[in-house]
Structure 1
Amino acid sequence: MIQTSLIATKSGAVCKTIETCGKMKKAELVFIPAPIISHLVSTVRVAKLLADRDERLSITFLIMRLLADSQIDSYIDSESAACNLIRFIDLPKHEPDPNQPSRFLNFLIEAHKPQVKEEISKLVIRSELSHDWPRLAGIVLDMLCIPMIDVANEFGLPSYIFFTSGAAFLGLDFYIQDLHDEQKVDPTEFKDSDVELVMPCLANPLPAKVLPFSLFEKDVLPLSLRMIRRVKETKGIMVNTFYELESHAINSFSNGNAPPVYPVGPILNLIRDERSDGNDAYKDIMQWLDHQPSSSVVFLCFGSMGNFGMEQSLRQPPPKGKREAPSDYVNPEEVLPEGFLDRTAQIGKVIGWVPQVDILAHPSVRGFVSHCGWNSILESIWFGVPIATWPIFAEQQFNAFQMIVEFGLAEEIRMNNRKEFNMDDFEIVNAEDIEKGIKCLMELDNDKRGKLKEMSEKSRKALMNGGSSYTWLGHLTQDMIDNMS
């Protein structure tokens, strides 16, 4: 006999539960993250929030891999040992098709569909054979794994999206799809255009030059549009943002033309990276920071995938035409002017991997020169460290526009600078522009710093009991239960 009742969860929210023979039925969510460390970390964090909010929920991650990645391996090992509410299942590795480098991720997802189907089938059978096993409540997909909706539909399961970028970027996706499908406008016509676009998700007109490069590529655009259309098939979209930061964009979704949008961020990994333990490089950089005056240091970091041309990079770019992560030079002196490291030892550090969260939290750090990845933006806001924008690829130009124009929380080195994985040419940002941007960053007036400090406080309150994201997360768990068939 199946009965429906209402109980108060440990979060204090009242939600509907499903009981079988008088016993509370537990639910399981399957998460499928993209094989990118920044996406994986934020996806695991949001899964933990869900599991912590509702004791009925357990989480299973299906892990796709494209290439060997020790960073992903060590992260999964540490999370597996630390949290018994989340388990990880590794799926077989697949190599990309060298003839289709621009569609490598789509290939990866399509190739993994049979393995995902097999694993979900096991979970379904297990829950049907025993009432002690949790029942599948749905599949949560990374924003880059949208084709897996097919697997969810095959099993009659609700699907949800975890959107690791901001709400305005989600709104941009819907705007471009509507522009193409309903207004019959070809977005590729905006390439190298000076046109400014007015869209519901932004308070200010958007220069077409900061649109993601993928929207200008005729062979990639159809795939992007198909993915955007499919997002609308889902039961809900979790977005790594908070209402106070992107209220205009979040309110723009209230027209009912999209699935429910849940701002549940900022989702940050504030736990100390295990690579810091016993790491001489970590000790060295933290000791160096300890000896710097308060608010005197500018931190430059361009993410795990960021790299420039040979003339301007301290990273070794991947081989031409290869979709691989850049690597650090074993000896940076081979690409630096002779004697540079010795001359700057007291006033600067050149390093590879860094504990970004620890550095942004350090009192000696006053500014952050960033590629404007969304995770880095949220971390800069959390710690109240202003950004000078230097975007590279993907949606980073759009993020830079938001930080400078929409939020008024950043200074500009570049806003429409771009480099895509399949491009070898890359504009060199000259020393004068870099100097000007950093000077503006370090001399930021008290009004702007005060505005950033206020937003920093709001980002923290959003996750507290009664905060905006805390409340939205409660709505999400309620709706997940309601959507169980």
Structure 2
Amino acid sequence: MVTPSPAHSHVAVVAFPFGTHAAPLLSVVRRLAAASSPETIFSFFSTTQSNHTIFTTVSGGGGGGGGGGGGAKVKAYDVWDGVPEGHTFTRGHQEPIELFMKAAPQSLRLSIDKAVAETGKEVTCLVTDAFFWFAADMAQDMGVPWVPFWTAGPCALSAHLHTDLIRHQAGGGNESLGFIAGMSKIQVQDLPEGVVFGDLESYFSTMIHQMGLMLPRATAVFINSFEELDKTITDDLKSKFQKFLNVGPFNLASPPPPAQDESGCLPWLDKREAGSVVYISFGSVVVPPKEELVAIAEALEFSGVSFIWSLKDNAKANLPKGFLDKTKTHGKVVAWAPQTDILSHKSVGVFVSHCGWNSLLESIAGGVPMICRPFFGDQRLNGRMIEDGWEIGIKIDGGEFTKQGMESCLDVVLSQDKGKKMRENIKVLKELATKAVGPRGSSTENFKQLLHLINSP
């Protein structure tokens, strides 16, 4: 699929360099580059650390930088992280974000000017992470389309788009958001911080609010999802934006190459019965507190189920004494696991997760139901939809792991009729997702629209 483009096509791509935002954007940009004409070039802007991490990543779960082709046409440019020399961080995890974003309007312009000077081509399209709300004005000043990318799911996007309405109309924590199309299963307490609770005056909350106000100005908004996952929300978002394009799931549309399995997880799984293994991973950002790690370990030991647990080495000290020895015949604790490959293995019967969006899509692709323990951001929304919307998993009772709660969830998913129903439901979503990225699928057609848009003069 090669789309004709004018000889001067130069797509500037601006990544948000925190969390798991930059890698999925690079993944789809490589797909776009591979499908574009040879004359189209892509300049990718992020911090030095972010660029180094994602451009050297060959594989990985969660939409890693690998896959998609087009790598030679995508050049990385480093943007200042906004941290003054000698600065000491004192205000928590949001401080680096605030420093970067405050510096970004000016530092991005300087970096883009450098790319224009090096290539001899003016920018013809501005693709950014949706968090860069000020890109609406930047693109207008440059006279080019603004095409933001939303990395999470449609529910979270809808919540941020309707923030003012929610603040005006919503009541208590367990009140439904039924006044917003497709959000009847969502409760106020499920919303991300900064919508109705948390520090609404913080820089991050203000930034996300501004994003919700600015996104309708975009030429198009694209997202790592597929329309069939939730047609009601998709149709509502289509009515709010000039163009709304589901172009995922990326892990199915452009699968990363096989990951290195240094811990031997896959051969170990080959020896287990179908649907019998518990896979546990909470992503790269969060580690549950010690008491919850102990509760998980005690439940695994008591139940005797087979498991693979992806747990950083420095967190293993919080496991109960003797746990690793007592479970070594049926359990495997590793510092890193090839998540996509594990979730696609027939022996895996349930995924214990923080409900991050990329992990959710990988679980759907593997047809594996979930046990959810959300921590922050969109994870509560995802957990609610997993349990009550799509009915493909279950949330931990009370929101935190206890030994009894973990045992109960394992029993429900692995042994009860309710778990069987979850597997049937997620199999349907897997088939819909696979069809969406197929030759005539909705995501494939939307990708063609996105490709045409960024290549238009």
TM-score by length of 1: 0.78
- Cα distance in structure 1, aligned partners of 2:145 and 2:51: 31
What is the aligned partner in structure 2 of residue 43 from structure 1?
25
The alpha-carbon distance between structure 1 residues 124 and 83, as it changes in their structure 2 partners (threshold 3 A), is closer
Matched residue SS, 1:350: strand
Which structure has the higher relative contact order (CA within 8 Å, separation 6+)? 2
Structure 2 counterpart of 1:442, one-letter code: L
Contact 2:185 2:384 in 1 (8 A): no
- Cα distance in structure 2, aligned partners of 1:378 and 1:227: 24
What is the aligned partner in structure 2 of residue 322 from structure 1?
none
What is the aligned partner in structure 2 of residue 104 from structure 1?
96
2:141 matches 1:154:
yes
Task: Map Cα deviations across residues 159-184 of structure 1 (whole Å, 9 max, x no partner).
Answer: 1111011122211211223344xxx4
Structure 2 counterpart of 1:270, one-letter code: P
Percent of aligned positions that are identical:
23
Contact 1:30 1:139 in 2 (8 A): yes
2:221 matches 1:237:
yes
What is the aligned partner in structure 1 of residue 305 from structure 2?
none
Structure 2 counterpart of 1:252, one-letter code: D
Matched residue SS, 1:394: coil
Matched residue SS, 1:311: helix
Describe how 1:361-380 pairs up with structure 2 within 5 A: 361-380=344-363
Matched residue SS, 1:244: helix
Matched residue SS, 1:271: coil
Matched residue SS, 1:298: strand
Contact 1:298 1:365 in 2 (8 A): yes
Contact 1:32 1:140 in 2 (8 A): yes
State which of 464, 467, 470 in structure 1 corresponds to 2:438: 464
2:370 matches 1:387:
yes
Q: Which has the higher helix share?
A: 2
Structure 1 position 150, deviation (Å): 4.2
The alpha-carbon distance between structure 1 residues 387 and 273, as it changes in their structure 2 partners (threshold 3 A), is same
The alpha-carbon distance between structure 1 residues 58 and 73, as it changes in their structure 2 partners (threshold 3 A), is closer
What is the aligned partner in structure 2 of residue 323 from structure 1?
none
Contact 2:12 2:126 in 1 (8 A): yes
What is the aligned partner in structure 1 of residue 385 from structure 2?
402
What is the aligned partner in structure 2 of residue 352 from structure 1?
335
Task: Map Cα deviations across residues 84-129 of structure 1 (whole Å, 9 max, x no partner).
Answer: 12121222344377355445313212223333212222444566x5
What is the aligned partner in structure 2 of residue 318 from structure 1?
none
Structure 1 position 47, deviation (Å): 1.0
Contact 2:390 2:425 in 1 (8 A): no
2:256 matches 1:271:
yes
How many residues are treated as equivalent by the alignment?
Answer: 423
Task: Map Cα deviations across residues 117-166 of structure 1 (whole Å, 9 max, x no partner).
Answer: 12222444566x5xxx5x52211111233334443333222211110111
- Cα distance in structure 1, aligned partners of 2:392 and 2:333: 27
2:159 matches 1:172:
yes
- Cα distance in structure 2, aligned partners of 1:157 and 1:178: 31
Contact 2:185 2:389 in 1 (8 A): no
Matched residue SS, 1:197: coil
2:108 matches 1:116:
yes
Structure 1 position 38, deviation (Å): 2.5
Describe how 1:389-468 pairs up with structure 2 within 5 A: 389-414=372-397, 417=399, 428-443=400-415, 445=417, 446-468=420-442
2:77 matches 1:89:
yes
Matched residue SS, 1:162: strand
Contact 2:13 2:43 in 1 (8 A): yes
The alpha-carbon distance between structure 1 residues 247 and 207, as it changes in their structure 2 partners (threshold 3 A), is same
Task: Map Cα deviations across residues 247-293 of structure 1 (whole Å, 9 max, x no partner).
Answer: 111111243x333110111012732466x27x3x2x2x233222222
| Unaligned residue ranges in structure 1 (runs of 5+) | 1-9, 19-23, 315-326, 418-427
State which of 270, 285, 289 in structure 2 corresponds to 1:290: 270
| Unaligned residue ranges in structure 2 (runs of 5+) | 60-64, 295-310
Contact 2:162 2:212 in 1 (8 A): no
What is the aligned partner in structure 2 of residue 6 from structure 1?
none
What is the aligned partner in structure 2 of residue 225 from structure 1?
209
2:452 matches 1:478:
yes
- Cα distance in structure 1, aligned partners of 2:99 and 2:90: 11
2:46 matches 1:63:
yes
CA-based RMSD of the aligned residues comes to 3.0
The alpha-carbon distance between structure 1 residues 27 and 467, as it changes in their structure 2 partners (threshold 3 A), is same
Task: Map Cα deviations across residues 353-399 of structure 1 (whole Å, 9 max, x no partner).
Answer: 21111111122111111110000011111111111111111110001
The alpha-carbon distance between structure 1 residues 97 and 178, as it changes in their structure 2 partners (threshold 3 A), is farther
Structure 1 position 242, deviation (Å): 0.4
